[in-house]
Amino acid sequence: MPKILDGAAIAAAIKEEVAEEVRALAARGIKPGLAAVLVGHLPASEIYVRNKVQACAELGLFSELVTPPATVTTAEMLALVAALNRRDDIDGILIQLPLPAHVDSKALLDAIEPAKDVDGFHPVNSGRLLAGRPALAPCTPAGIIEILKRSGIPIAGQHAVVVGRSDIVGKPTALLLLHENATVTICHSKTRNLGEVTRQADILVAAIGRPGFITPDMVKPGATLIDVGINRLTTREEFDRFFKGDAKREAAFAKRGSVVVGDIDPRALELSGAYTPVPGGVGLLTIAMLMANTVRAAKMRRGL
């Protein structure tokens, strides 16, 4: 039987470690602070940000929610970021994406002080990550490494294949695996004979945003499968493709009208040595690593 890599348990352990660090900093008169900027009213974004603010409260961090209207201009957003950069009580700045189409997202992300870039998206932090220097790494890739390490999955000397080359997940995940001494291959939509490459993976990371894209014939038996995808299925045809006969999922689909599936076909999971479930896997690490990054930023800014 494959080992299920429990994202909930690992996230809880990381949060407890963060809470301990926050208590230690409080004894020195320091309270890490996170500013979360949420533009307009996107229901999914509102849920994500609310969860992040709630995590701050649970762990003893200061948080401030800033909610500009959807009509905000790029110039107004840049002024807001500049003001947050100047505030000493703010250690981390998070701009919830996506932003309205008329707002220049890249300009805003570049305007965040790199020392406060807790999402790890700033080009300076990307460069530091590439060079193997201390940096605030993107939360999801950092969470993937924590899952592997805390689950006792060997990384050094293993062949890791990352399917997806986004700046947010694919590329930084590949770099972090490389820094852990894995041999890394990055695949994408233009990769020829993709299945031949993925079948060589000891560790296979799927971050391509397509439901069930990694099929059983693309997986080496015994491999560790890390599924970053969260794809919502809303039609009976989509549901039956992956979960026909699954009574538990059937009940969830009947109740909610949708279920989620990762980028890895659930039938491929049975071939693995270990895998992250969807839900309950990588996604739960993202907020935990954001909290860890905020505390790290607070300490780095103060030379601790």
Is residue 13 domain-resident?
A: no
DSSP state of 276: -
Reported in sequence order, the residue ranges of the chain that DSSP labels E, i.e. its strands, are 3-4, 33-37, 62-66, 92-95, 159-163, 183-187, 203-206, 224-227, 231-233, 259-261, 274-275
Whole-number pLDDT of residue 219: 98
Nearest Cα to Cα of residue 300 among 92, 56, 51, 77 = 92
Nearest Cα to Cα of residue 161 among 152, 173, 144 = 173
Whole-number pLDDT of residue 45: 87
Tens digit of each residue's pLDDT (9 = 90 or more) over 94-153: 999 999 999 999 999 999 999 999 999 999 999 999 999 999 999 999 999 999 999 999
Question: Can you give the residue range of the structural domain that contains 102?
Answer: 18-118+126-134+286-301
Given the DSSP bridges, would you call strands 203-206 and 159-163 parallel, antiparallel or unpaired? parallel
pTM of the shown model: 0.95
Residue 233 shares a structural domain with residue 294: no
Query: Is the confidence at residue 44, as pLDDT, over 90?
Result: no
181 vs 221: CA distance, rounded Å: 22
Residue 227 shares a structural domain with residue 266: yes
Three-state SS at 259: strand
The enclosing domain of 264 has a CATH number of 3.40.50.720
Mean local confidence (pLDDT), 60-78: 96
Compute how many other C-beta atoms are within 10 angstroms of the C-beta atom of residue 167: 12
Is residue 102 domain-resident?
A: yes
Residue 97 shares a structural domain with residue 180: no
Mean local confidence (pLDDT), 81-102: 96
Residue 271 shares a structural domain with residue 155: yes
Task: In the chain, count H helices and then E strands.
Answer: 12, 11
Is residue 243 domain-resident?
A: yes
Residue 56 shares a structural domain with residue 153: no
Query: Is the confidence at residue 91, as pLDDT, over 90?
Result: yes
Catalytic residues: 52, 96, 119
Tens digit of each residue's pLDDT (9 = 90 or more) over 213-225: 999 999 999 999 9
Residue 178 shares a structural domain with residue 270: yes
**What percent of the chain is modeled with pLDDT above 70?**
100
Is residue 257 domain-resident?
A: yes
Total number of domains constituting the chain: 2
Whole-number pLDDT of residue 43: 87
Residue 264 shares a structural domain with residue 293: no
Residue 48 shares a structural domain with residue 80: yes
Mean local confidence (pLDDT), 48-58: 94
Q: Given phi > 0 = left and psi -120 to 50 = alpha, else beta, which region is 94? A: beta
